Amino acid sequence: MLIRIGSRGSALALWQAEHVKERLEALGHAVEVRVITTTGDRILDRPLESVGGKGAFLKEIEEAMLVGEVDLAVHSLKDVPTSLPDGLALCAILERGDPRDALVSRSGTRLVELPSGARVGTASLRRQAQLRARRPDLAVVDLRGNVDTRIRRLREGRFDAILLALAGLMRLGRAAEATEALDPDLMVPAPGQGAIGLECREGDRGVSEAVISLNHEVTARAVAAERAFLARLGGGCNVPLAAYAVADGEGLRLQGLVAGLDGSRVVRGEARGSEPQSLGCGLAERLLAEGAGELIEP
């Protein structure tokens, strides 16, 4: 059986697709990668939320799976909405890379040392809100594009610093360009950040059985709690949300955050538990009781 992987054409997306291809080939499977251009790749001059949010990076690949043109999608899990199209499902979660956000600054200046008024670029509402909460004196500017594009615009002097996912830099061999890795207590990561998720057609036993050995149970449990938190708070709503879970003895420790876009109000909390779904939902309920709903309502 030939497994056809659908992938975006960015360097990072192709690295991830090729990584999965190599692992499946090592297990004896025939695999090929087919590049698919998504809405999120085509439209770069508008905020991501106006073109469908993070789901804009999945739509065309998922459509190709549903009509049988490809069999497997390889995603940065943080880009995958909690609600998938009918007929599709996550079939494996790979071991998580570094979940932290990275600051890349033009002068090698750390976050706390950036001068007042410095321009910091990021397209993530989550990063924007937490950055404004920590450093309201900075000029936070929307910045779209792949890793190469964003770093190039930084080097051209359009920004003083940018924020990126550290895992992406590491996978591209560019970790040395990070000025600072931000502690999750300082900048809570996105649900699923650093993890690679595999998506296939429901009922496709051939593909499901081929990829199941790639599933990393510890990572899968942690991101299940994070995604349960996200789902209870509205999933794809255009509000700064963050969640990060780590193994804690026999269970998990989950921290979650909801913020206003301007960073003036942040509701955050932490919880421990052994069942990912109830842990994520429970923490979300607690933050809703503490006023997070006021930040989520349109």
Q: Which residues are catalytic?
A: 79
Burial class (CB in 10 A: 0-12, 13-18, 19+), 184: middle
Structural contact between residues 101 and 164, judged by C-beta atoms closer than 8 angstroms: yes
Contact indicator for 221, 276 with CB cutoff of 8 Å: yes
Q: How far apart are CA 233 and CA 128, in angstroms?
A: 19
Instruction: Specify the residue for token string 């049988």.
Output: 68
Q: What are 64's two structure tokens? A: 């190709």
Cα(153)–Cα(121) distance, rounded to whole angstroms? 9
Residue 200 gets the label, from left (phi > 0), alpha (psi -120 to 50) or beta, of beta
Round to whole Å and give the CA distance between 110 and 234. Answer: 34
Residue 196's SS3 state is strand
* Parallel, antiparallel or unpaired: strands 119-121 and 161-165: parallel
Query: For the range 110-114, what are the long-range contacts, defined as Cβ-Cβ under 8 Å and sequence gap of 24 or more?
Result: 110/179, 110/180, 111/135, 111/161, 111/180, 111/182, 111/186, 114/138, 114/160, 114/161
Amino acid at 191: P
